[in-house]
Amino acid sequence: MTPVAVSAITVSTALGGGLAAQREALRQGRSGLRRNDFGSAPRLGWIGRVEGVETTTLPPALADQECRNNRLAWLGLQQDGFLDRVYAARERHGARRLALLLGTSTASIGATEEAYRRLDSDGRFPADLRRPAVHTPHSLAAFVAAVLALEGPSLTVSTACSSSAKVFASAARLLALDLADAAVVGGVDSLCDNVLFGFNALELISPAACRPFDADRDGISIGEAAGFALLERIDAAPRAPRLLGYGEASDAWHMSAPHPDGHGAERALDAAMARAGLDATQVDYVNLHGTASRANDEMEAALLARRFPATTRASSTKGFTGHTLGAAGIVEAAIALQAIEQGFVPGNIGTSTPDPACGAQFAWQGEERLVDVALSHSFGFGGNNACLLFGRAP
């Protein structure tokens, strides 16, 4: 495929707001996870909670879109000068030529949960939550379209934990077909009872901070995050790092467990490599999906071991941020791009006894290292897999 320039990117996670906060924590090996202090009792496990979401306020004109997820989106949009980059692109190309493609798994379901906790005496939503704009999966993209005043195509992708990786693929297709000159992609997922108790019901929540690829790993820690990137054709940003390839594939196996042989994940990987015209020996760093669930990490460790040489370095960063679900794709795309820009491979923190299935590729601690090509894995419920390959501008 024709590579696409990633001309701006920002993410906010439990590590802090913006790229500098991510860089600092990743270098220090400092986790953003904490004991669960969010939502309804009992508060199970550990979480990756973003500081400052409660005190963030939306402009009065957007009050009908008020909810935790949109506050987190607003907080995220303010970082790293991202708004100015989008405004400049809008100026350059025209608002109708900017597409908006955002991933989320639960959008603002937290607001719907709250309405059900506070039903009025007639069994209706309380008056302050009778706002259809927040009781829909498209609430995030509609909010961000309003904030950025974009007038091009706009879409929510909601494929669980691959959502905000797949938006890069959709955007690349719109640019290739000249349906847009630039695209804002990304995703936001925020803490809510739905995911905390849902993953608990599946017995997938670790009682402690998650330990990706540990022999004794016992589940995930859920996090929240907001992230956005601006994608343009290379001539608009020739020096920016690039999306070199994407791959998408389905497991055809199970709604809530990956195929044990990882064939869907591997098909997505093969498709990304083929589009980029690269082979595994040319991949310097893999940011793994690495949720710390028994099943994912077993499948993914085997995939890594059979496909990559030891010179490829790999880590899951879920021990830093928690599993940010529909936002994991954009968060880990940003970490992969930072690895290229900073020459630093983050460590796979949280793990004390590596699973024997893990090969020599694992960077258990952070490593200084030149990274020209970085890969990000995102695998979701329903057997939905996406891989993204990023590279330095030549």
- Specify the residue, 35 or 254, whose C-beta has the smaller distance to another protein: 254
Alpha-carbon Rg of the chain, whole angstroms?
20
Residues 6+ apart with CB under 8 A from 86: 8, 98, 148, 150, 184, 230
Q: Which of 214, 287, 300 is nearest to 258 (CA)?
A: 300
Catalytic residue among 67, 161, 192, 210: 161
Burial grade of 373 (CB within 10 A; 0-12, 13-18, 19 or more): buried
Q: Provide, rounded to whole angstroms, the least separation between the CB of residue 262 and another protein.
A: 12
| One-character DSSP codes across 129-144 | G--GGGSSTTHHHHHH
- Specify the residue, 30 or 254, whose C-beta has the smaller distance to another protein: 254
Within 13 Å, how many C-alpha atoms sit on residue 239's CB side? Answer: 1
Catalytic residue among 259, 289, 377, 387: 289
Q: Provide, rounded to whole angstroms, the least separation between the CB of residue 168 and another protein.
A: 13
Active site residue 289: yes
Active site residue 323: yes
- Specify the residue, 92 or 254, whose C-beta has the smaller distance to another protein: 254
Spatial separation of the C-alpha atoms in residues 369 and 41, rounded to whole Å: 44
Spatial separation of the C-alpha atoms in residues 318 and 211, rounded to whole Å: 8
Catalytic residue among 259, 263, 323, 377: 323
- Specify the residue, 49 or 131, whose C-beta has the smaller distance to another protein: 131
Q: Provide, rounded to whole angstroms, the least separation between the CB of residue 131 and another protein.
A: 8
Active site residue 161: yes
Phi, psi of 370 (to 5 degrees): -70, 125
Q: Provide, rounded to whole angstroms, the least separation between the CB of residue 328 and another protein.
A: 14
Residues 6+ apart with CB under 8 A from 235: none
| DSSP E strand boundaries for the chain | 4-13, 16-17, 34-35, 46-48, 98-103, 154-157, 182-189, 222-223, 225-232, 242-250, 285-288, 313-316, 344-345, 367-368, 373-380, 384-391
Q: Provide, rounded to whole angstroms, the least separation between the CB of residue 30 and another protein.
A: 31
Q: Provide, rounded to whole angstroms, the least separation between the CB of residue 271 and another protein.
A: 8
Sign of the alpha-carbon dihedral angle for 188, 190, 194, 197:
positive
Residue 250: count of CB within 10 angstroms of its CB: 15
- Specify the residue, 233 or 392, whose C-beta has the smaller distance to another protein: 233
- Specify the residue, 136 or 342, whose C-beta has the smaller distance to another protein: 136
- The set of catalytic residues is 161, 289, 323
